[in-house]
Amino acid sequence: MAVWALIICACQTKPTDATMQQPTNTASNTQTTTAAANTNTEYATTKTGKKIPIAEQGITIMFDDGWKKEDMDFHLDYCKKTMAGVKDKINADVFCPCFLDKIQYYYEPIYFKEAYEDQKKWNEACYQAAMY
């Protein structure tokens, strides 16, 4: 976890309440399913029919189709480069897509740092999956 603290230091500063767009509640269809890790995970269904995990802290779906491809490509590349210093402990090819694939529906791409801080369960699950 401390390793990731180094990564988020390079991210943008946290926006003020006046500049941060508040998401609207579109995640009304939820269900509990047993995930591969043998834990209960709640899911939401986007307007386009995609089943995604529900975010912590009451954060709701902003992007029914996720980020644009160029935004995802940028953040995958950025995440992998940032994690290069810990490549002997964490597989960035596992952590980065694991985490970004979840947050892309809830956060604007510029709020990657906030997503990391808010979504502790996803962060920990992806971190554990990526450890060597």
- Confirm if 67 and 111 have CB atoms less than 8 A apart: no
Taking alpha carbons only, the member of 77, 78, 82 closest to residue 7 is 82
Q: Which of the four pLDDT bands, split at 50, 70 and 90, describes residue 8?
A: very low
* Whether this model's pTM surpasses 0.75: no
Measure the N-to-C terminal CA separation of the chain; round to a whole number of Å: 14
pLDDT of 41 reads 76
